Amino acid sequence: MTTPLPRTFFQKDTCSAARSLLGKRLVRILDGSRISGLIVEAEAYNGEEDLACHARVGKTRRNAVMYGSPGHAYVYFTYGMHWMLNAVTREEGFPAAVLLRAIHPLEGLDLIASNRPGRPSAEWCNGPAKLTQAMAINGELNGCDLCNPHSPLFLESGLTIPENSILTSPRIGLGNTPEPWLSKPWRYYVSKNEVLIAAKAR
């Protein structure tokens, strides 16, 4: 299947988008071969009002992509060494995105292994900066269209995750963010059992 998710998929409420991105397949084309995996963890960041969102300070050069068309990749650098991958949501002009925090790798395992040298396979993609490292995602992919099958990075349909296998929690790593944003249950992840089922997918 190389039919990407339609742009309308992203043009909706960010929390719904984060939830429905679970089980979808993230595909990276690297030197003509595919690396892919199923999304198992994601967080919603929603607008200038959300004080955990990068857009809380208004539009800057860094976060400009979030203000643009939905279905595009917002890739940014942090902590002096880590790249983060987000999918832009909502209508054009509204700054919101879903941070992709973890995937279950399915294709291109040899490439992932070479991008994550010396790491056990369980730790290849189980964190937001780990998955970007595993898939060789960096700032060059900022603004990339995730709805275009010719992009080096896009999203495909995957596995349907049953509603009762989706868990939520507050978002990770928010530091000084004030309430109520600190405690908003906008992190969505797939239960461990369901990940094992995903592991059997091809």
Site residues, DNA (CB under 7 A): 43, 45, 52-54, 57, 60-63, 66, 76-82, 84, 86, 97, 99, 119, 123, 127-130, 171-176
Kindly tell me which of 32 and 93 has the beta carbon lying closer to DNA: 93
Are the C-beta atoms of residues 52 and 45 closer than 8 Å to each other? Answer: yes
Kindly tell me which of 29 and 51 has the beta carbon lying closer to DNA: 51
Q: Cβ contacts of residue 13 below 8 Å, gap of 6+? A: 89, 90
In three state form, how does the secondary structure of 87-123 look? EECCCCCCCEEEEEEEEEEEECHHHHHHHCCCCCHHH
User: What is the smallest separation between the CB atom of 127 and DNA, expressed in angstroms?
Assistant: 3
Kindly tell me which of 162 and 173 has the beta carbon lying closer to DNA: 173
User: What is the smallest separation between the CB atom of 89 and DNA, expressed in angstroms?
Assistant: 11
Length of the chain counted residue by residue: 202
Are the C-beta atoms of residues 27 and 35 closer than 8 Å to each other? Answer: yes
Nearest to 38 by CA among 13, 20, 14, 57: 20
User: What is the smallest separation between the CB atom of 194 and DNA, expressed in angstroms?
Assistant: 18
User: What is the smallest separation between the CB atom of 158 and DNA, expressed in angstroms?
Assistant: 21
Kindly tell me which of 3 and 176 has the beta carbon lying closer to DNA: 176
